[in-house]
Amino acid sequence: MKRKKRLFALFGNPVAQSLSPLMHNAAYKAMKLDARYIAIRKEKARDIAKEMALCNIEGASVTIPHKTALFDCIDSVSDSALKIGAVNTLTFHNGTLKGDNTDWTGFVHAVEMFTTFKGNTFIVLGAGGAARAALFAILKKEGRAVIVNRTQSKGESLGREFGCDFFPLKHLGALEGHCLINCTSAGMHPLIDRSPIEGSAFPRCSFVMDMIYNPLKTKLCADADHAGIPTVTGLSMFVHQGADQIRLWTKLEPPVELMRHIAERALSHEAGQ
Ligand code: NAP
């Protein structure tokens, strides 16, 4: 009997703009897997589990706004996702749904392409799910982290949880660290003329990394270029968090460079380059 096509999905709201289907489907084709990855818009997190069981979806990526709400709808969760407080990956196996987080592993891969964690101080800008994944990764890899956020109460509470100092956004220019990591959504498509540090100076640092990958060159990175600070885009993190999902679901090695090429080409095309 012919084996049924394997099904993977992205759940979120909105999902139409996502590059994940393009990148995952290209990877499965290159891996010669009879599999398909589709984007499904869902307003409520609890409907995701039902849909996966109903349609026999083996694995799913989860994006805004469901990364935190999913904890109530899954049967088990990895230690890392629990500590981060966000699930971006679901695996449906033998009737049970497990939550995981590959944002932090994707972040580790991306950072280790240009520097090391151990002993270096990272200035984490933001206090949402992406900042939590970055903090978890930095501390696990024996780096140091300080938090800067627009809303003081959120930044302070995150600082207490992860045992890091917090500084208000207006103090950013006075800070010093190895790398500034933008974990905010300011500057993301379509509001590409925004920067999270509008009106503040860059800290003294050797690198600026933006987790945003659309656009490829954010205003923050363009401003850092002007200030003479080397920049890293969110593309590598995006590619690696997707590659880690494929490893979890298929136990096979995905074609990472092809995935990067596909995503980069689509983003350059969108930017009219
Ligand atoms: P989130 O939970 O909604 O958090 C957003 C953060 O951005 C909050 O700390 C918020 O500050 C801050 N913020 C928003 N607008 C701002 C502005 N104009 N100025 C200063 N701060 C601002 O979002 P998230 O899930 O953490 O995602 C954040 C970004 O990371 C998104 O752009 C997402 O696409 C990106 N990301 C990329 C990858 C990748 O693979 N490359 C993976 C995950 C996430 P307040 O606390 O003051 O509201």
Angle between helices 129-140 and 152-162 (to 10 degrees): 30
Q: What pLDDT is recorded for position 271? A: 75
134 Cβ closer than 6 Å to some ligand 1 atom: no
Q: Find out whether 234 and 241 touch, Cβ atoms under 8 Å.
A: no
The angle formed by the CA atoms of residues 45, 29 and 19, to the nearest 5 degrees, is 45
* Distance from the alpha carbon of residue 212 to the mean position of ligand 1, in angstroms: 9
Q: What pLDDT, on the 0 to 100 scale, is given for residue 1?
A: 59
* The pLDDT value given to residue 4: 83
What is the rounded distance in angstroms from the CA atom of residue 42 to the CA atom of residue 101?
19
Q: What is the pTM of this model?
A: 0.96
- Of 70, 31, 46, 67, nearest to 249 by C-alpha is 31
- Residues annotated as catalytic are 67
Ligand 1 binding pocket includes 241 (Cβ within 6 Å):
yes
Contacts of residue 248, Cβ cutoff 8 Å, sequence gap at least 6: 59, 89, 91, 100, 102
Cβ 103 vs Cβ 88: under 8 Å = yes
Span from the CA of 219 to the centroid of ligand 1 (angstroms) = 15
Return the pLDDT at 166: 98
Residue owning tokens 């208000």: 168
> Which residue's CA lies nearest to atom 3 of ligand 1?
128
pLDDT at 131: 97
pLDDT tens digits for range 133-192:
999 999 999 999 999 999 999 999 999 999 999 999 999 999 999 999 999 999 999 999
Listed in sequence order, the DSSP H helices in 141-233 are 152-162, 219-226
Strands across the sheet with 76-77, in order?
35-41, 6-12, 57-62, 89-93, 96-100, 76-77
State in Å: Cα 183 to ligand 1 middle. 5
pLDDT < 50 regions, the chain:
none
DSSP 22: H
Q: Identify the bridge partners of residue 208 per DSSP, sorted by sequence position.
A: 180, 231
Tens of pLDDT, residues 42-60: 999 999 999 999 999 999 9
Angle (deg, nearest 10), helices 103-112 and 235-250 = 130
- Tokens 């690198």 belong to 207
For residues 43 and 35, the answer to whether their CB atoms sit within 8 Å is: no
- Evaluate: CB of 151 within 6 angstroms of ligand 1: yes
Take atom 2 of ligand 1 and give the residue whose Cα is closest.
128
Give the per-residue pLDDT at 273: 62
What the block records as the tokens of 182 is 């933008």
Measured from the CB, is residue 188 less than 6 Å from ligand 1? yes
Determine the Cα–Cα distance for residues 105 and 212; give it in Å rounded to an integer: 16
Distance CA 35, CA 207 (A): 39
User: Any bridge partners for residue 93, and if so which?
Assistant: 96
Give me the pLDDT at residue 176, please: 98
pLDDT in the model for residue 257: 98
Residue owning the nearest CA to atom 7 of ligand 1 = 184
SS (H, E, C) 89-130: EEEEECCEEEEECCHHHHHHHHHHCCCCCCCCEEEEECCCHH
Determine if ligand 1 sits within 6 Å of the CB of residue 104. Answer: no
Residue 272 has a pLDDT of: 75
